[in-house]
Structures are given as C-alpha cells and as structure tokens.
A = this chain, B = another copy of it.
Amino acid sequence: MRKISATIKDVAKYTGLSIATISKYINGGNVLDKNRKKIEEAIKVLDFRVNELARGLKTNRTMTVGVLIPSLKNIFFTSIISNVENILLKHGYSTIVCDYRESSNLEKEKLNFLVNKMVDGIIVVPHGGDVSHIQDVRDKNIPIVFIDRMIKEIDCDVVLSDNLNAAYEAVEQLIIRGHRRIGIIAGPKDVYTTKERVKGYIRVHEDHDVNVDESLIKYGDYDIKSGYNILQKFIEMDSPPTSIFVTNYEMTLGAIMAINENDIKIPDQMSLVGFDNIQMAKVVKPSLSIVVQPIEQIGETAANILLKRLKNDYEGFPSTNRLKTEIMIKDSVGTIRS
C-alpha cells in the first residue's frame, strides 16, 4: 500500500512545538529562529509535505485550474496550454486539461467534471451554440476566461486574436497584388472566429471597391477534410478564384492536399494564404504565406488574467483582449497582371 507520509502532527511531535506553530511556519508566519531551524530539520528528516486535500478542505481552494479545449490534437491549442500551464505552475496551480473533441455535449460534461473537481478557475475555448452550462458555472462564481472565441451572451474575460483585422490584412495583400476573385474557406457559420474573419474579408473588399461574390465564401468545419473538399469545389467552378484564403490550420492542410492532387501550380495558377503554424509554412513548397496568431501571448494573457481573478481582483472585468496577428507573405502568393 501507499506509504503514508508525515503529517504536520509528526513535525509537531518531532520539534516539540504545537501544530499551530508548524502551520504558521508553513504559511510564512514568524517563528523564533531556533524553532525555525528545528522545523526545517524535521520537515527534511520526515519528508513532510503539506496535504493539499486537508488544506483545500479548510481553505476551500484546490489550487487547481481546469483547461478545456476542443481538441488535444490541435497544436494551436496545446501550444497555448503549454504556456498557461507553466505560468500557473509558477503560482502553485496545477492544470487539469480536458478536450471535448468538438462535441457540445462533451463540453458540457467535462465542464461539469471540472466543477466537481472543484477547480478554482477555468480557461475554456467555448464551443458556442448552447451556453447555458457555462452560465451555470459563472453563477457559481468560478472565474472563467475564454480563449479564442467570444460568447456575447456571457460576461467574461476573453483573450483572442484580432481575427477581423487578420483576415482583412491577409486578403488585402491579395487585393494589392491584383487579385479580384478571392475565395475564402471559412469555419463553421456559427463560430465566433468564422464570423469575424468573414467580416474582415468583406470589409477589405468594400474598402478597396472590390465586388464581393458570395459564391466565393464557403463554410467548412475547421477540419482537414472540409479544407480539401472546399478547395476541390473552388477548382470546379466555372470561373474559379485566382487566390484562396484559408482560415485555420487544419483546413489549410486539406487545401494543400487538394492542390497537390490536382497538380495546381502555386502561385501561377492560384495564390494561397493559410493560417497558423509557421513550421508548416516553411515545409511546403512553395513556401506558404500565412496568418500567424500570437500563440505565446494568448496563453500568457489568459493565465495572468485568471490569476488576477483568482486573487479576487476584478479590475476591468470583463476584459476583452484582442491580440494582434501577423501576416507572413511568402512564395505562395503571386501577382495578377491585368
């Protein structure tokens, strides 16, 4: 059986002091120097560690934060978590990570699970659609920070990319280079990021007096397959677009697969701007132009806001942190001579 470790009681016995004094020492209180030495010795000798359960029971805090993302196989999200986890850990918090595999039901279930685990706070990439279960959590006064997507219905701190401008700038680069028929492979129609990116796409057309052809706006699922299928459809159009803007990483992969299979020459036959993952951009040939989200910064910001809320500092609540993206134009974008 598991060896039971020393308790505060053992330390008290060893040192001849009372439990209260040991507790005081542990929590940074003042004790006499000779006692401090004795306690430290005892802790070392007995290999004493605070029982976080007992502590949590008293303090009503688990020093645990739940992180809920759509998929652990999505490097965009796991990279964010990597930062979140490291920052939280520095403040003594551990991170329970769950993914909900893009299922709204699972999201609900896992959120509930996290609440049962009595996490002190939650960082979540909300799925959208029905959000009542998130509201339920808010009602329990558990701090929540949204990442990547906003839920208008719920007052909450949120950290995300400036998706509108990201799309704006990406498409603008194409317009500048003479493209007039620009296809966009967007995400699911009801997801926040999709709407923002499409908004940017439309606005830049308007600002440059380019007509928006609705048939060039196609909605996918943010997965590889839909990127593939939609690109295929674009190719089969009577007058296909001269360039494509793909709005997330997985669909970018799918689009490239379709391009490769159809032996389409980039950028001569078609220009391409993708999304996320610099490494990928460098690996494909010709090198891919992409929109880059500030992944590190998103994680950092989210973690810090949550830490602030955990300290009961609700200054600026609810804050919306819209972080700037970058655009990298590489060989996959060509110029149209008109």
Contact = CB atoms under 8 A, between A and B. Distances in A.
A110 B85 CA distance: 11
Interface string A318-337: 00000000000000000000
Interface stretch (A33-41, A111-119, A191-199): A111-119
Given A53-B53, A57-B54, A75-B75, A253 B283 contact: yes
Nearest to A136: B47
Interface string A100-140: 01000000001001111110000000000000000000011
Contacts of A279: 224, 253
A54 B142 CA distance: 19
Nearest to A4: B60
B81 A110 contact: no
A72 B62 contact: no
Interface residues of A, number: 57
Given A50-B116, A72-B78, A118-B51, A96 B94 contact: yes
Interface string A60-81: 1010100000011101001101
Q: How many copies does the complex hold?
A: 2
B283 A285 contact: no
B1 A141 contact: yes
A97 interface: yes
Contacts of A114: 94
Contact of A72 (B49, B81, B118): B81
A282 interface: yes
Given A53-B62, A118-B51, A284-B284, A94 B113 contact: yes
Interface string A1-17: 11111000000000000
A98 B85 contact: yes
Contacts of A54: 57
Contacts of A72: 78-79, 81-82, 85
A139 B3 CA distance: 8
A260 interface: yes
A95 B85 CA distance: 13
A53 B57 contact: yes
Interface of A: 1-5, 49-54, 56-57, 60, 62, 64, 71-73, 75, 78-79, 81-82, 85-86, 89, 94-99, 101, 110, 113-118, 139-142, 224, 253, 256-257, 260, 279-280, 282-285, 287
25 contacts: A3-B139, A3-B140, A4-B60, A49-B115, A51-B118, A52-B116, A52-B118, A53-B118, A72-B82, A73-B75, A73-B79, A73-B82, A75-B78, A86-B99, A86-B101, A89-B110, A94-B96, A94-B114, A95-B97, A95-B98, A260-B282, A260-B287, A280-B283, A284-B285, A285-B285
